[in-house]
Amino acid sequence: MRRLGSVVAYTYLALVYGFIFLPVVALMLFSFHDGLVPVPPFRGPTLHWYAELLRDERMMDALRNSVWVGLTSSALATALGFLAAYGLARYRPAGAALVRGVLIAPIAVSYLVIALGLSIGANELGVGRSLTLVVVGHVVINLPLAFAVISSQMSPAQERLEKAARDLGASELRVLALVTVPVLLPGLLAAFALSFTLSWDEFVIAFLLTRFDVTLPVEIWSSIRTGLDPETNAVGTLVFLLSMGLLAATLTVFSRLRRRVV
Amino acid sequence: MRGARVVIEGLSKRYGEVTALADIDLEIEAGSYVVILGPSGSGKTTLLSILGGFTHPSAGRVLVDGRDVTFDPPARRPTTTVFQDYALFPHMNVGRNVAFGLAMRKVPREERRRRVEEVLALVGLEGAADRDVATLSGGQRQRVALARALVVEPPVLLLDEPLGALDLKLRRQMQDELSRIQRQTGTTFVHVTHDQEEAMALADAVVVLSHGRIEDHGPPERVYLRPASRFTAGFMGDSNVIEGMVVGDAQGLAVETALGTIPVPGEAPGAPGSRVVVSIRPEHLRVDGSGGLELGHGRVRERHFSGTYQRCYVTVGDLELMVFAPLTHRLTAGQTVALSVDPADVVLLPPD
């Protein structure tokens, strides 16, 4: 009876994982496909499509754009999130709860709404659609997350560390540079990695706010429209692996956080 | 290193409606070890925080060697603090923790290294500079915190319940260390605690604080044996407090209590007819009849063995007295004993 139960449980588990990961596995498998269209039966393997990808100027441009947008928007979101979290935790201004709420609120707003809002706003100001505007959009969506992650790492114990540093003669700037930031570093890295992961495969904002220079998800979307080929699978595989790598890094940082004394 | 003299004048601190400190006047001698003793909420932590520059008082001044430092920021004060949770920097090793204050003062690297080694030796942590803070025991962290605060040679060292997180045995051991280090450096130590045994063991002078006011201030022996207030009598060790009234008789003044008439040993606590309280320490109540003043017979209601003495609750009339009786006179519950006391051990106090 127990045996039957565990058989059912494991079958169910296998089905769930299969449902989630089979498309990804298929995508990765057919990136090594020796043929013009990624359909069964599988032939190969070959690295031909990866070589094609490296030669594809448009894809490579889009990749560079994505990296630039990701790094810039994540750095900005992390810096702003840190300043907001630090200010609220240390100075406890009047209406802190409200400020906190307003900072977190954009999490609940659809990307479409944010993109349309930015698009209309930019139009009104006479600013053209560009990667810079995408950076702004990604800061909007990542700031609440960066703020939440960093806020959760601020503790009264850290405040006492800052107090001790001041007591020993450190100026405010040195307190920040020598104590606050180093102690919060795992939280800052986690916020940055999370922001980058989200920016990396964000499509709606990037699509609506760019024109000629586009990010990788937008470029992939347009290449799918012109027809499937295994090169798309190759780039999809790379995007997926990079996201997974960042996720693993973030989880590692977080598991270290939990073991810390302070 | 030499300690500084600290003078506190008319210090008050209010948080909205709550008064944390009410008009405190206090003089701390240069190079002395002062313990501020009080229950939680007595204002002792607020007082230390004002001395350290972390809190601004609502009124009053703090003078260190004659200089007004009331509103100087912590970084520019002649004080450093040993925090209750030590607040060691977790991302630095022991040496860098201790050297922090020196680095902020731009002390050259060679001198920094020498002074760190010296102060680590002073606190009994020779050669620990390269150790990671996370690998230290509670007692060792305490020593590092002490070294970090002492290395900049502050004229005044503030200690905020520094032994609170240690177990009893380690606490007693660290008390002796603190005492030695204070004598060796000559720094003025201001130490806050709620542990009266700690206060008595360490202090040159004890300041008893309650509800933001100084209840008593003096050498620990005097404060223990002749407390200045009812609160002090009850907080510094155990005490039997009995209500009474001053009466005049042919030989002079006396106090009438439920235990009989007790002659007044020194000066009168008040005019005849005024109410007073009588405080007698449990170890001063004698069961062998050796005290000069008989207090009548009582019945032992409870007896607990506690190693060095027997802790008994003795019922005399309507009163119940706590008695620490020596083990040479073995008592049992239900037994009747004749209580007496040396009149010199009786303390008369105002009724609050």
pLDDT at B33: 94
Return the closest-CA partner of residue B173 out of B140, B204, B127. B140
User: What pLDDT score does A261 carry?
Assistant: 41
Query: CB-based burial of residue A232 (10 Å sphere; 0-12 exposed, 13-18 middle, 19+ buried)?
Result: buried
Greater pLDDT, A201 or B11 = B11
3-state secondary structure of B11: strand
Residue A194's nearest CA partner among A48, A25, A54, A81 is: A81
- Of the listed ranges A81-90, A215-224, B7-16, B336-345, the least confidently predicted one is A215-224
Q: How far is B198 from chain A (nearest CA, A)?
A: 24
- The answer to ipTM > 0.90 is no
**C-alpha to C-alpha distances, B328 to A218, B288, B310, B325, B335, nearest whole angstrom:** 94, 10, 10, 8, 16
Residue A259 has pLDDT above 60, yes or no: no
**B137 CB within 8 Å of a chain A CB:** no
Residue A127 is predicted with a pLDDT of: 78
Q: Quick check: A119 pLDDT over 90?
A: no
Residue B255, beta-bridge partner list: B246, B262
Rg (alpha carbons) of chain B, rounded to whole number? 24
Tell me the chain A residues in contact with residue B81 when contact means C-beta distances shorter than 8 Å. Answer: 164, 167
Helix (H) or strand (E) holding B340: strand B336-341
Q: How far apart are CA A236 and CA A32, in angstroms?
A: 12
Lowest-pLDDT range of A106-120, A187-201, B240-254, B324-338: B240-254
Q: For residues B157 and A205, which has the higher predicted lDDT (pLDDT)?
A: B157
Question: Which amino acid, one-letter code, is at B89?
Answer: F
**Fold for domain A57-259?**
MetI-like fold (1.10.3720)
DSSP assignment, residue A127? P
For residue B12, what is the enclosing H or E element? Answer: strand B6-15
Q: Which amino acid is at B266?
A: G
Domain ranges of chain A: 57-259
Classify strands B293-305 and B310-316 as parallel, antiparallel or unpaired: antiparallel
Between residues A225 and A75, the one the model is more confident about = A75
Which residues, given as ranges, of chain B have pLDDT below 50? none
pLDDT of A243 > 50? The answer is yes
Architecture of domain B238-349: Beta Barrel (2.40)
Nearest CA in chain A to B157: A167
| Cβ contact B163:B142 at 8 Å | yes
Residue A41: asked if its preceding bond is cis (omega within 30°), the reply is yes
Please list the residues that pair with B341 across neighbouring strands. Answer: B293
Show residues of chain A in contact with B152, CB under 8 Å.
168-169
Asked if B54 and A163 come within 8 Å (Cβ–Cβ), the reply is: yes
The number of residues making up chain B comes to 352
Question: Tokens 């050498």 label which residue?
Answer: B219
Answer for the pair B36, B27: CB distance below 8 angstroms, yes or no.
no
Interface check for B106 against chain A (CB to CB < 8 A): the answer is no
Q: Chain-wide mean pLDDT for chain A?
A: 84
Beta strand spans in chain A (E): none
Residue A262 is predicted with a pLDDT of: 39
Stretch A39-62: mean pLDDT: 77
Which tens digit of pLDDT belongs to each residue from B36-87?
Answer: 999 988 889 999 999 999 999 999 999 999 899 999 999 889 999 999 889 9
Q: Is the pLDDT of residue A95 over 90?
A: no
- Domain spans, chain B: 6-234, 238-349
Contact A24, A240 (CB under 8 A): yes
Q: In the structure encoding, which two tokens stand for residue B315, read together?
A: 């019922």
Q: Is B74 on the interface with A (CB under 8 A)?
A: yes
**Helices first, then strands: H and E counts in chain A:** 12, 0
The stretch A233-254 carries a mean pLDDT of 82
Fold of B6-234: Rossmann fold (3.40.50)
CA distance B122 to chain A (A): 19
What pLDDT was estimated at residue A257? 60
Residue B64: the pLDDT is 92
pTM above 0.90, yes or no: no
pLDDT (average), residues A102-123: 86
